């Protein structure tokens, strides 16, 4: 059997599950709407629970407080038929009631999703996603040097065994550092990397909106004002990049 990316993380064999999760399990166990059921049916080829880490399988302590339940962590691989609705599909996969590290695979390309969860204050037995982070698609057959460094950094030996909360957030921090590397050119990060990256993405979203408006605008004066605003936003992005 061909090794997957998750197998290359050198997670102890005691944590290996390699259990197929069937589409009907999601339909039967979660309250999916018609659109979500369609996405599950049309966009997924296979879902596999590859590894499950808990205190019985690995020497990492659980972490629990009023907002967090990191008793165990699951590593899941999702083989895709379509990548068009990836974020909506990710929301469905994240209904699984554990902190998850998800690898989406489209032939030889992968995208990693990490979505920190907190305890639902209205129902302490449930976890809800706080925010979701995705890498860009990485071609495993044609990866860049920094992509290779990032993938190597995901090996289990590079993460703290203090507790599952620290362990999970270490993976998240490496993902954030990788996303920031498209601007900084390095996997090094500082305490502001996460905040700066979010600001850059917000400003770039505004830039795309302005560019779209400029293309549609017919009034010369309004077009000039939009271009002035666009220049300021581009300068803002460059300034933020310089701080990474």
Residue 2: pLDDT band (50, 70, 90) is low
Query: Rounded CA gap, 194 and 85, in Å?
Result: 25
pLDDT of residue 125: 65
pLDDT at residue 98 greater than cutoff 80: yes
User: For residue range 13-62, what is the model confidence (pLDDT) as tens digits?
Assistant: 999 999 999 989 998 888 889 999 999 999 999 999 999 999 999 999 99
Q: If 0-12 CB within 10 Å is exposed, 13-18 middle and 19+ buried, where does residue 171 land?
A: buried
pLDDT of residue 241: 87
Q: Within a 10 A sphere around the Cβ of 186, how many other Cβ atoms?
A: 12
pLDDT of residue 1: 53
pLDDT at residue 124 greater than cutoff 90: no
User: For residue range 30-43, what is the model confidence (pLDDT) as tens digits?
Assistant: 888 999 999 999 99
Domain range summary for the chain, segments of one domain joined by +: 6-184, 193-243
Q: State the greatest distance between any 2 C-alpha atoms of the chain, in Å, as a whole number.
A: 68
Written as six digits, the tokens of 78 are 């999702």
Q: If 0-12 CB within 10 Å is exposed, 13-18 middle and 19+ buried, where does residue 166 land?
A: middle
Q: Within a 10 A sphere around the Cβ of 119, how many other Cβ atoms?
A: 17
pLDDT at residue 127 greater than cutoff 90: no
**Residues paired with 47 in a beta bridge:** 21, 78
Q: Are the CB atoms for 128 and 79 separated by under 8 Å?
A: no
């Amino acid at each position: 059997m061909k090794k997957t990316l998750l197998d290359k993380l050198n997670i102890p064999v005691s944590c290996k599950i390699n259990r197929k999760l069937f589409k009907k399990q999601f339909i039967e166990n979660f309250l999916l709407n018609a659109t979500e059921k369609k996405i599950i049916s049309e966009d997924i080829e296979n879902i596999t629970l590859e590894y499950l880490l808990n205190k019985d399988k690995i020497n990492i302590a659980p972490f629990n407080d009023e907002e967090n339940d990191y008793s165990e962590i699951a590593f899941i691989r999702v083989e895709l038929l379509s990548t068009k609705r990836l974020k909506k599909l990710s929301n469905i996969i994240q209904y699984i009631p554990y902190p998850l590290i998800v690898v989406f695979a489209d032939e030889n390309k992968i995208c990693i999703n990490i979505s920190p969860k907190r305890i639902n204050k209205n129902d302490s037995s449930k976890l809800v996603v706080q925010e979701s982070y995705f890498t860009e698609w990485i071609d495993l057959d044609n990866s860049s040097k920094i992509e290779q460094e990032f993938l190597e950094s995901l090996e289990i030996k590079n993460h703290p065994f203090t507790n599952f909360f620290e362990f999970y957030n270490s993976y998240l921090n490496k993902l954030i550092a990788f996303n920031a590397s498209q601007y900084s050119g390095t996997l090094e990060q500082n305490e502001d990397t996460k905040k700066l990256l979010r600001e850059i993405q917000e400003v770039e979203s505004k830039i795309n909106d302005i560019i779209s408006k400029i293309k549609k605008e017919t009034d010369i004066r309004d077009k000039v004002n939009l271009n002035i605003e666009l220049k300021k936003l581009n300068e803002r992005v460059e300034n933020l990049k310089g701080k990474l």
